[in-house]
Chain A
């Protein structure tokens, strides 16, 4: 059963930039209510698109992760960024339920 990968500043390059599959990165923080709401949506998305998409999460509150948060101009969370070949192909701001997110992501990974 695939579950979202936990990202750190140490594995970001390997898991996201160098990934063959597209990667949907969830930038989140523990204080953010809507981010917790996204967690179950992302679990479901990871299951449904297993093999087509990797789902990963980065906690932007961690001091070590600040540089990544700034590099990707995170100013609002939840913030999902779809990476393809190491670059941001699309972003999704704010909470969205699976029936909205899944078609948007499927469209973007074609």
Chain B
């Protein structure tokens, strides 16, 4: 029987694991170490290291957690069941685990544009991961759709490989950090197209062009070989539905300041929660993971100062 089953091995899950292990709590972590960080080619805001490669960060996080005794299971969780005061977890490989508490840290999945041609050309010009697929567009023309950090970072990454990058954003200003915004604006290979939406992705065997809702350079058709969609992410809902934790209108798990969800015994941390002002970063995910681990330790070891106070008050 584990003290904690952590679902998700991104920064939230692994940070929780490190803290839990150091509290003497036996923990198992399900997922693929690193989470979204393994798709990032450059992390520049993690305190203490000026520039960090995402995959290196993912690998270091995994090794850190493992060195403290965590068991990391790189498989997806299929079912979660509450029984006799604890949780029964089964993975897609039919391995079974039992735990006293659970931490949901599954993060988010890339949002789709839901436009014509997006599904059809997925893998044939349409991609959601610049670092994964930029390699295949060396010397070609690409469009990046979005206006946040991921989109701006993706555009900068692609500019090193592609011959031309169009960064297309529906607003009249980028949301991205100034750091990325400036890199984008000062890069001769990147053209920013503001206040414009992409209506359709077209082509034959592969992507050949996109249709805009406003003319650019005199035309609504823009010839591109690749389209990178970086418009944000939404929580992975399936398991959340099984757990029946309360979600907000956006599908994010509602947590209190100690990471507790609406269900006793279940905590949540990271991109999929409403915590940290919904500011989804590695540092806030790691913080929420640590806070949850601490709260779980207090719950398991009986340091329930709050409930004692409430009982006295009643």
Contact = CB atoms under 8 A, between A and B. Distances in A.
Interface string B54-93: 1100100000000000000011101000000000000011
Interface in A68-84: 69, 73-77, 79
B92 A77 contact: no
A32 to B, nearest CB: 4
Interface in B112-140: 122-129, 131-133, 135-137
Contact of B38 (A33, A74, A91, A98): A33
A99 B136 CA distance: 29
B206 interface: yes
Interface string A85-110: 00000010110011100000000000
B205 interface: yes
Contacts of B131: 31-33
Most chain B CB within 10 A, of A33, A37, A44, A94, is at A33
Nearest to A102: B92
Given A32-B132, A40-B74, A91 B92 contact: no
Nearest to A75: B136
Nearest to B31: A37
A58 B226 CA distance: 23
A21 interface: no
A17 interface: no
A34 B93 contact: no
Contacts of A99: 76, 78, 92
Contacts of A94: 122-123, 128
Nearest to A92: B123
A98 B55 contact: no
Given A33-B58, A77-B132, A44 B123 contact: no
A97 to B, nearest CB: 5
Interface centre among B75, B123, B126, B137 (most CB of A within 10 A): B123
Given A33-B34, A33-B55, A40-B74, A76 B205 contact: no
Nearest to B92: A98
A75 B92 contact: no
B124 A73 contact: yes
A52 interface: no
B246 interface: no
Contact of A97 (B54, B92, B122, B137): B92
In the A-B complex, list the 6 residue pairs whose CB atoms are closest, starting with the nearest. A93-B123, A33-B38, A76-B123, A32-B132, A37-B32, A75-B136
Interface of B: 32, 34, 38-39, 54-55, 58, 74-76, 78, 92-93, 122-129, 131-133, 135-137, 205-206, 226
